[in-house]
Amino acid sequence: MRRPRPRPSLGILGGMGPSATADFYRRFVERTPAGSDQAHLPVVMWADTAVPDRTEALLGQGPSPLPALVEGARWLQRAGVSCIAVPCNTAHAYVEQLSKATGTEVLDMIGAALEAAARRTPGLERVGVLATRGTRLTGLYERAGVRLGLDVVQVTDGVQERYVDAAIRAVKGGADPAAPERWIATAAESLKEQGAQAAIAACTEIPLISGAAARVLPLVDSTDALAEAAVARLWQPAQVVRARGRRG
């Protein structure tokens, strides 16, 4: 008897932070065009909340998260996943090293978010980014923007510290979301003043408090963009496997 082919599966390298990981998985499920529980794509999750803070590491204020990321990716690799999604923008500073260390395909959250912004905003030339200081420091969005012909702008250092950093800390700490939502809207206003035609919620905590900001500028959710990229990568191959299984 012929054994069934393994179905394409997604590995989620999460825990950065826990709420953002749960939010990503929910969005991935919602965007999968499955007609039943059994038709959904298999998912394996590694959510180690002890991964060192990515921003602190990039600022030289803490240990590198790379060893913990490699450990998680190798565990997912042994579980047989087809590719890995890392629902943390700042962690993408380590994705190239992670891929080299494990030989595993890691989906590009940064490129997916910028491409989504371009698709959803006709004539987009300048896009604002709401991110951690670590993501800003690495220039992840700026470099990807150059490849796509987009001008990427950031908030000022003062707005970053007073509103964006404070909002991210509040969400991670489980604070009431009302004040952080206002702070992110204020940050979006500053991007609009710089000529941004759209903004990217480029920290996975920000989509959880982005309602008011979305009324200031068209807002692209990087978590959503990664979920869409994961479905696009895995759904069609999964259908091919099912069809072959039926013929076998």
Residue 203 catalytic?
A: yes
CA distance 128 to 196: 5
The domains of the chain are located at 10-108+224-247, 109-222
Output the CA–CA distances (angstroms, integers) from residue 56 to 51, 96, 148, in the order listed: 12, 19, 29
pTM score: 0.89
Tell me the H-state helices in the chain.
Answer: 18-31, 54-58, 66-78, 95-102, 109-120, 133-138, 140-148, 157-159, 166-172, 178-193, 222-247
Is residue 248 within 8 A of residue 228, CB to CB? The reply is no
Mean pLDDT, 10 residues at a time, over the chain (248 residues)?
69 94 96 94 96 95 97 96 96 95 95 96 97 94 96 97 96 92 98 98 92 96 96 79 51
Say whether 109-222 and 10-108+224-247 share the same fold: yes
In terms of Cα–Cα distance, which of 140, 121, 116, 143 is closest to 196?
121
In terms of Cα–Cα distance, which of 226, 193, 208, 210 is closest to 31?
226
The catalytic position among 12, 16, 88, 118 is 88
CATH class, 109-222 region: alpha beta
The catalytic position among 12, 187, 203, 217 is 203
Could you say which architecture CATH assigns to the domain 10-108+224-247? 3-Layer(aba) Sandwich (3.40)
DSSP conformational letter for 106: B
Residue 83 catalytic?
A: no
What is the pLDDT, as a whole number, of residue 119?
95
